[in-house]
A and B are shown apart, each in its own frame.
Chain A
Amino acid sequence: AQSVTQPDIHITVSEGASLELRCNYSYGATPYLFWYVQSPGQGLQLLLKYFSGDTLVQGIKGFEAEFKRSQSSFNLRKPSVHWSDAAEYFCAPKIGGSQGNLIFGKGTKLSVKP
Chain B
Amino acid sequence: SQTIHQWPATLVQPVGSPLSLECTVEGTSNPNLYWYRQAAGRGLQLLFYSVGIGQISSEVPQNLSASRPQDRQFILSSKKLLLSDSGFYLCAWSGGSYGYTFGSGTRLTVV
Whether A associates with B in a native complex is: no
A→B interface (CB under 8 Å): none
Q: What residues of chain B have their CB less than 8 Å away from a CB belonging to chain A?
A: none
